[in-house]
């Protein structure tokens, strides 16, 4: 059993100010996998002040220094890669293949991308006699979730390190193991004391203390829209920058000229990956009404071919993260049944043969209308809602009829899909299940958040803009 009772503050592993512990549950077995300490406002303050002290020196480091530091972090991360993947499987239930090929691998991707962006990023430019300088914003607070734990740590920490910021990380207390290993990587890589700090704890305590702290210049939060609103409220009195990547209810428009088999089966697979626990999952599939019956059959076959089982084996899908999430998902599946959607396959309860662990049946609903609960609320589980449409204009209207705007998907002729893509109110649109692009900005419209992560766009939120008038004709600094 894992035991992580210290926090990483000012380059050292230190005891919490007030002893308090919580068990971490393995979602596949429902057994205790480890124990961590839970922090307080005093721990948060200590970490923030360490970051503030470190900022004066670290913000003045050179581009070359920061490239070398990121390369060191990458090397140490790769040394611990298998261990980090195993921790992710244990803490949140990702199948071993997914933990290795995606969950842990994306940490390498963000580090490599950050290094390449930093090599050529333009921090200064001369406009006439005015110098426009982009400088590190300061001390950053990061509050990250459990569903893609390393991804959401790396896509914040890497650009912060690259731009000269210092930081305090509060990972999810539900899945904290990989974050502890990330902190060990940072220490081994020689990150200067105080530049990176980690305090475990819950949102109402440590999260609130960080987002309201007067010495924090920016808070970056990934999680639910409900929690994001609380973060913004806490941050408002000190007028700090707030960056948020929140919920989604992403539409997936199957155009009339799409290959129906490829489009529908691919959509089902995309929803079921990571047990549906992805904020950008294409959970609303819009299908031409005349093709709905054929689409139902394809979706049913794809869902029923999705193997569910222990994340230590070769199953396509493991458990969801916790009993709380399992219960919420069960309630929303029942809501779909009660509101009259057609249950194509799946439903409530655990899959056959699995009597322990937070496993959910791959579930497909059809004949869904966009006013039903399962079309409005983010389920965050392996549940797909299929909605019919009569015209392309209606499909676009339904797709945009949501408070969210994180992602959208379109299947069909490429030129046709490009035209439709421009009509969708979402921060990222994927045509024909395009592969992820590490340089593509990630973030949402509307209640899916503000700001962007990934690639060069990620640097922007960690920089302040300063205009120095009268600089003259001299060359801008590097």
Q: Which two tokens stand for residue 397?
A: 């209207």
Cβ-contact 235, 211 below 8 angstroms: yes
Cα–Cα dist 261/411, whole Å:
11
| Non-local CB neighbours of 46 within 8 Å, separated by 6+ positions | 9, 10, 14, 17
* Dihedral pair phi/psi, residue 134, rounded to 5°: -110, 115
**Strand order through the sheet with 449-450:** 12-14, 7-9, 196-198, 166-170, 139-143, 218-222, 241-245, 449-450
Angle ∠(60,219,10) on CA atoms, nearest 5: 55
Cα–Cα dist 388/369, whole Å:
8
Q: Is 134 helix (H, G, I), strand (E, B) or coil?
A: strand
Q: Is 210 helix (H, G, I), strand (E, B) or coil?
A: helix
Closest CA to 323 of 1, 25, 21: 25
| Non-local CB neighbours of 41 within 8 Å, separated by 6+ positions | 205, 206, 209
Cα–Cα dist 159/455, whole Å:
8
- Helix locations, 20-104, DSSP H: 41-58, 63-79, 81-92, 96-98
Cβ-contact 282, 404 below 8 angstroms: no
Q: Are strands 241-245 and 449-450 parallel, antiparallel or unpaired?
A: antiparallel
Closest CA to 358 of 312, 332, 329, 320: 320
Closest CA to 202 of 172, 182, 222: 172
Q: Please list the active-site residues.
A: 245, 279
Closest CA to 231 of 470, 434, 449, 464: 449
CA dist list (Å): 316 to 62, 94, 279, 322, 409 = 45, 9, 19, 18, 22
Q: Which two tokens stand for residue 125?
A: 């430019």
């Amino acid at each position: 059993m894992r035991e992580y009772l210290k926090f990483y503050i000012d380059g050292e592993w230190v005891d919490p100010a007030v002893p308090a512990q919580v068990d971490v549950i393995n979602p596949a077995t429902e057994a205790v996998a480890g124990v961590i300490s839970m922090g307080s406002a005093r721990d948060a303050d200590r970490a923030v002040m360490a970051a503030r002290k470190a900022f004066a020196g670290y913000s003045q480091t050179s581009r070359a220094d920061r490239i070398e530091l990121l390369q060191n972090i990458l090397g140490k991360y790769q040394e611990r890669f298998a261990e980090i993947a195993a921790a992710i499987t244990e803490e949140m239930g990702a199948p071993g293949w997914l933990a290795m090929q995606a969950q842990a691998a994306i940490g390498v991707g963000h580090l490599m991308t950050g290094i390449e962006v930093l090599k050529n990023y333009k921090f200064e430019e001369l406009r006439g006699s005015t110098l426009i300088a982009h400088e590190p914003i300061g001390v950053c607070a990061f509050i990250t979730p459990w569903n893609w734990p390393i991804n959401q740590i790396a896509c914040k920490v890497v650009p912060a390190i690259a731009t000269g910021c210092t930081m305090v990380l509060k990972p999810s207390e539900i899945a904290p193991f990989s974050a502890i290993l990330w902190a060990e990587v940072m220490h081994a890589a020689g990150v200067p004391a105080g530049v990176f700090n980690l305090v475990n704890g819950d949102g109402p305590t440590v999260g609130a203390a960080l987002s309201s702290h007067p010495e924090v210049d920016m808070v970056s939060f990934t999680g639910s829209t409900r929690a994001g609103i609380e973060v913004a409220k806490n941050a408002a009195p000190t007028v700090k920058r707030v960056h948020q990547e929140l919920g989604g209810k992403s539409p997936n428009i199957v155009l009339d000229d799409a290959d129906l088999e490829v489009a529908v089966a691919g959509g089902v697979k995309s929803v079921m990956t990571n047990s549906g626990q992805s904020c950008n999952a294409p959970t609303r599939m819009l299908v031409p009404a005349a093709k709905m019956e054929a689409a139902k059959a394809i979706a049913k076959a794809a869902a029923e071919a999705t193997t569910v089982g222990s994340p230590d084996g070769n199953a396509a899908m493991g458990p969801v993260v916790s009993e709380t999430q399992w219960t919420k998902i069960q309630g929303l599946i029942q809501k779909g049944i009660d509101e009259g959607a057609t249950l194509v396959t799946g439903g409530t309860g655990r899959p056959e043969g699995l009597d322990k662990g937070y496993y959910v049946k791959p579930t497909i609903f059809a004949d869904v209308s966009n006013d039903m609960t399962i079309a409005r609320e983010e389920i965050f589980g392996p549940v797909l809602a299929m909605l019919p449409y009569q015209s392309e204009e209606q499909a676009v209207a339904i797709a945009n009829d949501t408070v969210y705007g994180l992602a959208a998907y379109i299947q069909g002729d490429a030129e046709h899909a490009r035209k439709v893509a421009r009509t969708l109110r979402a921060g990222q649109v994927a045509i024909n299940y395009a592969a992820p692009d590490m340089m593509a900005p990630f973030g949402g419209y509307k209640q899916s958040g503000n700001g962007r992560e990934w690639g060069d766009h990620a640097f922007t939120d960690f920089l302040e803009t300063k205009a120095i008038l009268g600089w003259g004709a001299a060359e801008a600094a590097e």
